[in-house]
Amino acid sequence: MRIGTRGSALAMAQTTTVVRALEKSGVEVELVTITTEGDTSKASLASLGGTGVFASALRDALMAGRVDAIVHSLKDLPTAGFPGLTIAAIPKREDARDVLCARDGLTVDTLPVGAKVGTGSPRRRAQLLKRRPDLDVVDIRGNVDTRLGKISGELDAVILAAAGLRRLGRLDAVTEFFGIDGWPTAPGQGAVAIEVRSGEEKLVSALDHKSTRVLVEAEREVLALLEAGCSAPVGANAFVDDGLLFLSARVYSLDGTSTLTSSHALYLSDVKQPGSELAARVARELLDAGAAAIAPLGSVG
Protein backbone atom coordinates (compact mmCIF):
# COMPACT_ATOMS: atom_id res chain seq x y z
CA MET A 1 0.00 0.00 0.00
CA ARG A 2 1.33 3.44 -0.94
CA ILE A 3 0.71 6.06 1.76
CA GLY A 4 1.01 9.73 0.79
CA THR A 5 2.24 12.29 3.30
CA ARG A 6 3.84 15.70 3.52
CA GLY A 7 7.58 15.53 4.00
CA SER A 8 7.87 17.57 7.21
CA ALA A 9 9.24 15.87 10.30
CA LEU A 10 5.86 16.13 12.04
CA ALA A 11 3.90 14.80 9.06
CA MET A 12 6.33 11.91 8.73
CA ALA A 13 6.10 11.15 12.45
CA GLN A 14 2.30 10.98 12.49
CA THR A 15 2.20 9.00 9.25
CA THR A 16 4.74 6.54 10.67
CA THR A 17 2.26 5.66 13.42
CA VAL A 18 -0.26 4.78 10.70
CA VAL A 19 2.34 2.76 8.80
CA ARG A 20 3.27 0.76 11.90
CA ALA A 21 -0.36 -0.04 12.62
CA LEU A 22 -0.89 -1.27 9.06
CA GLU A 23 2.31 -3.31 9.10
CA LYS A 24 1.19 -5.04 12.31
CA SER A 25 -1.76 -6.41 10.35
CA GLY A 26 0.60 -7.77 7.68
CA VAL A 27 0.24 -4.99 5.10
CA GLU A 28 3.37 -3.98 3.18
CA VAL A 29 3.56 -0.18 3.10
CA GLU A 30 5.50 2.32 0.99
CA LEU A 31 5.70 5.99 2.06
CA VAL A 32 5.37 8.59 -0.69
CA THR A 33 6.27 12.19 0.22
CA ILE A 34 4.32 14.97 -1.47
CA THR A 35 5.09 18.69 -1.48
CA THR A 36 2.11 21.01 -0.93
CA GLU A 37 1.55 24.74 -1.49
CA GLY A 38 1.59 25.22 2.26
CA ASP A 39 5.11 23.74 2.39
CA THR A 40 6.60 25.98 -0.30
CA SER A 41 4.86 29.33 0.22
CA LYS A 42 6.28 31.84 2.70
CA ALA A 43 2.95 33.68 3.04
CA SER A 44 0.88 33.45 6.21
CA LEU A 45 -1.60 30.59 6.43
CA ALA A 46 -4.48 33.03 6.77
CA SER A 47 -3.55 34.82 3.53
CA LEU A 48 -3.21 31.49 1.72
CA GLY A 49 -6.77 30.61 2.61
CA GLY A 50 -6.13 28.58 5.74
CA THR A 51 -4.47 25.29 6.49
CA GLY A 52 -6.44 23.54 3.73
CA VAL A 53 -3.48 24.42 1.48
CA PHE A 54 -1.73 21.38 2.99
CA ALA A 55 -4.43 19.02 1.70
CA SER A 56 -4.88 19.78 -2.00
CA ALA A 57 -1.65 18.27 -3.37
CA LEU A 58 -2.16 15.13 -1.27
CA ARG A 59 -5.68 14.75 -2.61
CA ASP A 60 -4.52 15.31 -6.18
CA ALA A 61 -2.01 12.46 -5.79
CA LEU A 62 -4.71 10.19 -4.37
CA MET A 63 -7.19 10.98 -7.12
CA ALA A 64 -4.49 10.41 -9.76
CA GLY A 65 -3.73 6.96 -8.35
CA ARG A 66 -0.15 7.78 -7.34
CA VAL A 67 -0.96 6.70 -3.78
CA ASP A 68 -3.62 4.49 -2.17
CA ALA A 69 -4.23 6.55 0.99
CA ILE A 70 -3.17 9.90 2.43
CA VAL A 71 -2.66 11.05 6.01
CA HIS A 72 -3.70 14.50 7.23
CA SER A 73 -3.61 16.39 10.50
CA LEU A 74 -7.37 16.54 10.98
CA LYS A 75 -7.32 20.15 12.19
CA ASP A 76 -5.73 21.13 8.85
CA LEU A 77 -8.40 19.43 6.75
CA PRO A 78 -11.25 21.52 5.30
CA THR A 79 -14.63 20.57 6.73
CA ALA A 80 -16.20 20.29 3.27
CA GLY A 81 -15.92 16.81 1.79
CA PHE A 82 -13.93 16.16 -1.39
CA PRO A 83 -15.79 14.44 -4.25
CA GLY A 84 -14.55 10.91 -4.79
CA LEU A 85 -12.66 10.69 -1.48
CA THR A 86 -13.64 9.44 1.98
CA ILE A 87 -12.10 9.74 5.43
CA ALA A 88 -11.97 6.01 6.08
CA ALA A 89 -10.21 6.08 9.46
CA ILE A 90 -9.50 8.45 12.32
CA PRO A 91 -7.14 6.69 14.76
CA LYS A 92 -7.22 7.35 18.50
CA ARG A 93 -6.67 11.01 19.27
CA GLU A 94 -3.53 12.37 20.89
CA ASP A 95 -3.46 15.23 23.43
CA ALA A 96 -5.67 18.03 22.03
CA ARG A 97 -4.14 20.84 24.10
CA ASP A 98 -2.02 23.80 23.03
CA VAL A 99 1.23 24.53 24.83
CA LEU A 100 3.60 27.42 25.39
CA CYS A 101 7.31 26.92 24.74
CA ALA A 102 9.17 29.87 26.23
CA ARG A 103 12.67 30.92 27.20
CA ASP A 104 13.76 30.55 30.81
CA GLY A 105 10.76 28.43 31.80
CA LEU A 106 8.34 31.36 31.45
CA THR A 107 4.54 30.95 31.33
CA VAL A 108 1.95 33.22 29.74
CA ASP A 109 1.41 34.98 33.07
CA THR A 110 5.12 35.50 33.74
CA LEU A 111 6.17 36.69 30.27
CA PRO A 112 7.36 40.31 30.52
CA VAL A 113 5.30 43.15 29.06
CA GLY A 114 5.96 43.42 25.33
CA ALA A 115 7.36 39.90 25.03
CA LYS A 116 7.27 38.53 21.48
CA VAL A 117 5.22 35.35 21.08
CA GLY A 118 5.03 33.54 17.75
CA THR A 119 2.05 31.76 16.20
CA GLY A 120 0.59 31.38 12.72
CA SER A 121 -2.92 30.72 14.04
CA PRO A 122 -5.54 33.53 14.23
CA ARG A 123 -7.27 31.55 17.01
CA ARG A 124 -4.13 31.32 19.13
CA ARG A 125 -3.40 35.00 18.48
CA ALA A 126 -6.89 35.97 19.68
CA GLN A 127 -6.64 33.74 22.75
CA LEU A 128 -3.25 35.13 23.69
CA LEU A 129 -4.34 38.75 23.26
CA LYS A 130 -7.46 38.10 25.31
CA ARG A 131 -5.31 36.85 28.18
CA ARG A 132 -2.33 39.20 27.71
CA PRO A 133 -3.13 42.20 25.48
CA ASP A 134 0.26 43.70 26.36
CA LEU A 135 2.19 41.01 24.45
CA ASP A 136 3.56 41.37 20.91
CA VAL A 137 2.10 38.47 18.90
CA VAL A 138 4.21 37.72 15.83
CA ASP A 139 3.00 35.77 12.78
CA ILE A 140 5.39 32.89 12.05
CA ARG A 141 5.65 29.93 9.67
CA GLY A 142 7.93 26.93 9.55
CA ASN A 143 8.22 23.45 11.01
CA VAL A 144 8.40 22.70 14.72
CA ASP A 145 12.21 22.82 14.92
CA THR A 146 12.27 26.14 13.05
CA ARG A 147 9.74 27.64 15.43
CA LEU A 148 11.47 26.34 18.55
CA GLY A 149 14.74 27.67 17.18
CA LYS A 150 13.39 31.22 17.27
CA ILE A 151 13.05 31.13 21.07
CA SER A 152 15.73 33.15 22.89
CA GLY A 153 16.57 34.72 19.55
CA GLU A 154 13.93 36.80 17.80
CA LEU A 155 11.09 35.48 20.00
CA ASP A 156 10.47 34.94 23.69
CA ALA A 157 8.00 32.09 23.14
CA VAL A 158 5.90 30.19 20.62
CA ILE A 159 2.56 28.41 20.91
CA LEU A 160 2.34 24.89 19.47
CA ALA A 161 0.17 21.77 19.66
CA ALA A 162 1.01 19.27 22.40
CA ALA A 163 0.26 16.36 20.03
CA GLY A 164 2.90 17.43 17.54
CA LEU A 165 5.58 17.86 20.17
CA ARG A 166 4.73 14.48 21.68
CA ARG A 167 4.98 12.77 18.29
CA LEU A 168 8.38 14.38 17.74
CA GLY A 169 9.65 13.62 21.24
CA ARG A 170 9.98 17.35 22.05
CA LEU A 171 7.72 17.75 25.08
CA ASP A 172 10.83 18.83 26.98
CA ALA A 173 10.42 22.24 25.31
CA VAL A 174 7.01 22.87 26.93
CA THR A 175 6.86 25.44 29.72
CA GLU A 176 3.04 25.54 30.08
CA PHE A 177 0.11 23.33 29.06
CA PHE A 178 -3.13 25.24 28.43
CA GLY A 179 -6.32 23.76 29.86
CA ILE A 180 -8.96 22.98 27.24
CA ASP A 181 -11.75 24.74 29.18
CA GLY A 182 -10.02 28.10 29.19
CA TRP A 183 -8.14 27.62 25.94
CA PRO A 184 -10.22 25.51 23.51
CA THR A 185 -8.24 24.31 20.52
CA ALA A 186 -8.90 23.78 16.83
CA PRO A 187 -11.67 21.30 15.99
CA GLY A 188 -10.03 17.92 15.49
CA GLN A 189 -6.68 18.97 16.97
CA GLY A 190 -4.58 16.00 18.06
CA ALA A 191 -6.21 13.61 15.58
CA VAL A 192 -5.11 12.39 12.18
CA ALA A 193 -7.36 11.44 9.28
CA ILE A 194 -6.68 8.74 6.70
CA GLU A 195 -8.36 9.46 3.39
CA VAL A 196 -8.90 6.99 0.54
CA ARG A 197 -10.79 6.87 -2.74
CA SER A 198 -14.49 6.26 -2.10
CA GLY A 199 -15.23 2.55 -2.21
CA GLU A 200 -11.79 1.58 -0.89
CA GLU A 201 -12.48 2.23 2.78
CA LYS A 202 -11.58 -1.32 3.79
CA LEU A 203 -7.91 -0.56 3.10
CA VAL A 204 -7.61 1.28 6.42
CA SER A 205 -11.01 1.02 8.16
CA ALA A 206 -9.55 -1.24 10.87
CA LEU A 207 -7.60 1.78 12.18
CA ASP A 208 -10.74 3.81 12.87
CA HIS A 209 -11.27 4.71 16.54
CA LYS A 210 -15.02 5.12 16.81
CA SER A 211 -15.17 7.23 19.98
CA THR A 212 -12.53 9.61 18.64
CA ARG A 213 -14.52 9.95 15.41
CA VAL A 214 -17.69 10.90 17.31
CA LEU A 215 -15.85 13.67 19.18
CA VAL A 216 -13.91 15.22 16.32
CA GLU A 217 -16.80 15.06 13.89
CA ALA A 218 -18.96 16.98 16.37
CA GLU A 219 -16.26 19.64 16.73
CA ARG A 220 -15.76 19.95 12.98
CA GLU A 221 -19.50 20.09 12.32
CA VAL A 222 -19.68 23.25 14.45
CA LEU A 223 -16.98 24.78 12.27
CA ALA A 224 -18.87 23.82 9.13
CA LEU A 225 -22.20 25.18 10.38
CA LEU A 226 -20.55 28.46 11.36
CA GLU A 227 -19.15 28.60 7.81
CA ALA A 228 -15.74 29.17 9.34
CA GLY A 229 -12.50 28.19 7.64
CA CYS A 230 -10.11 25.84 9.40
CA SER A 231 -7.89 28.82 10.32
CA ALA A 232 -10.78 30.86 11.78
CA PRO A 233 -10.59 32.05 15.42
CA VAL A 234 -12.86 29.26 16.65
CA GLY A 235 -12.05 26.70 19.33
CA ALA A 236 -14.12 23.59 20.06
CA ASN A 237 -13.96 20.62 22.39
CA ALA A 238 -16.09 17.51 22.75
CA PHE A 239 -15.86 14.69 25.29
CA VAL A 240 -17.97 11.84 26.62
CA ASP A 241 -18.68 11.27 30.31
CA ASP A 242 -21.04 8.61 31.69
CA GLY A 243 -22.91 8.26 28.40
CA LEU A 244 -23.26 12.02 27.89
CA LEU A 245 -21.67 13.76 24.90
CA PHE A 246 -20.57 17.29 25.76
CA LEU A 247 -19.70 19.89 23.11
CA SER A 248 -18.45 23.41 23.67
CA ALA A 249 -17.31 25.99 21.12
CA ARG A 250 -15.94 29.50 21.45
CA VAL A 251 -15.69 32.22 18.81
CA TYR A 252 -13.13 35.03 19.17
CA SER A 253 -12.70 38.40 17.55
CA LEU A 254 -9.29 38.58 15.87
CA ASP A 255 -7.98 41.00 18.52
CA GLY A 256 -9.27 38.85 21.39
CA THR A 257 -11.46 41.59 22.85
CA SER A 258 -14.76 39.78 22.21
CA THR A 259 -15.75 36.15 22.69
CA LEU A 260 -18.89 34.05 22.55
CA THR A 261 -19.23 30.55 24.01
CA SER A 262 -21.90 27.88 23.69
CA SER A 263 -22.00 24.49 25.44
CA HIS A 264 -24.55 21.69 25.17
CA ALA A 265 -24.82 18.02 26.07
CA LEU A 266 -27.06 15.04 25.34
CA TYR A 267 -27.08 11.31 25.91
CA LEU A 268 -25.47 9.34 23.10
CA SER A 269 -28.42 6.95 23.14
CA ASP A 270 -31.05 9.67 22.74
CA VAL A 271 -30.59 10.39 19.01
CA LYS A 272 -29.14 8.61 15.99
CA GLN A 273 -26.55 11.32 15.26
CA PRO A 274 -25.74 12.96 18.60
CA GLY A 275 -22.68 14.82 17.27
CA SER A 276 -24.64 16.48 14.49
CA GLU A 277 -27.52 17.34 16.82
CA LEU A 278 -25.20 18.93 19.37
CA ALA A 279 -23.23 20.80 16.73
CA ALA A 280 -26.46 22.26 15.34
CA ARG A 281 -27.50 23.47 18.81
CA VAL A 282 -24.11 25.01 19.53
CA ALA A 283 -23.74 26.70 16.14
CA ARG A 284 -27.30 28.05 16.21
CA GLU A 285 -26.78 29.57 19.66
CA LEU A 286 -23.48 31.19 18.62
CA LEU A 287 -24.95 32.64 15.43
CA ASP A 288 -28.06 33.89 17.24
CA ALA A 289 -25.78 35.59 19.76
CA GLY A 290 -23.93 37.46 16.98
CA ALA A 291 -20.86 35.32 16.23
CA ALA A 292 -20.77 36.54 12.63
CA ALA A 293 -20.39 40.11 13.86
CA ILE A 294 -17.21 39.46 15.85
CA ALA A 295 -15.37 36.83 13.77
CA PRO A 296 -14.58 36.35 10.06
CA LEU A 297 -17.17 33.66 9.32
CA GLY A 298 -18.75 32.74 5.99
CA SER A 299 -15.62 31.18 4.42
CA VAL A 300 -15.88 27.43 4.90
CA GLY A 301 -12.57 25.64 4.42
Q: What per-residue confidence (pLDDT) applies to 83?
A: 95
87 and 199 part of one domain: yes
Mean per-residue pLDDT, 274-288:
96
Residues 198 and 168 in one domain: no
Q: Is 185 domain-assigned?
A: no
pLDDT at residue 227, as a whole number: 86
Q: Is 229 within a domain?
A: yes
Residue 298 pLDDT greater than 90, yes or no: no
pLDDT above 70 coverage of the chain, percent: 92
pLDDT value at residue 48: 42
For residues 21 and 140, membership in a common domain is answered with no
Both 87 and 197 in one domain: the answer is: yes
Report how far apart the first and last C-alpha atoms of the chain are (Å, whole number): 29
pTM of the model: 0.90
- Provide the pLDDT for residue 232: 84
Could you give the CA distance from residue 17 to residue 10 in angstroms, rounded to a whole number?
A: 11
Are 218 and 65 contacting, i.e. CB atoms less than 8 angstroms apart? no
The CATH number given to whatever domain includes residue 9 is 3.40.190.10
Nearest to 195 by CA among 293, 97, 56: 56
Is residue 39 assigned to a domain?
A: yes
Catalytic pick from 39, 60, 68, 76? 76
Residue 59, pLDDT > 50, answer: yes
Note whether 105 and 76 are same-domain residues.
Answer: no
Position 184 scores a pLDDT of 97
- At residue 224, what are phi and psi to the nearest 5 degrees? -65, -45
Phi, psi of 239 (to 5 degrees): -155, 160
Residue 104 annotated as catalytic:
no
- Assess whether 55 and 197 both reside in one domain: yes
Q: Answer whether residue 248 is part of any domain.
A: yes
Full domain range(s) for residue 22: 2-92+191-209
C-alpha to C-alpha distance for 228 and 168, rounded to whole angstroms: 30
Say whether both 31 and 53 belong to one domain.
yes
Could you give the number of structural domains in the chain?
A: 3
Q: Are 169 and 106 found together in one domain?
A: yes
**Same-domain pairing of 120 and 260:** no
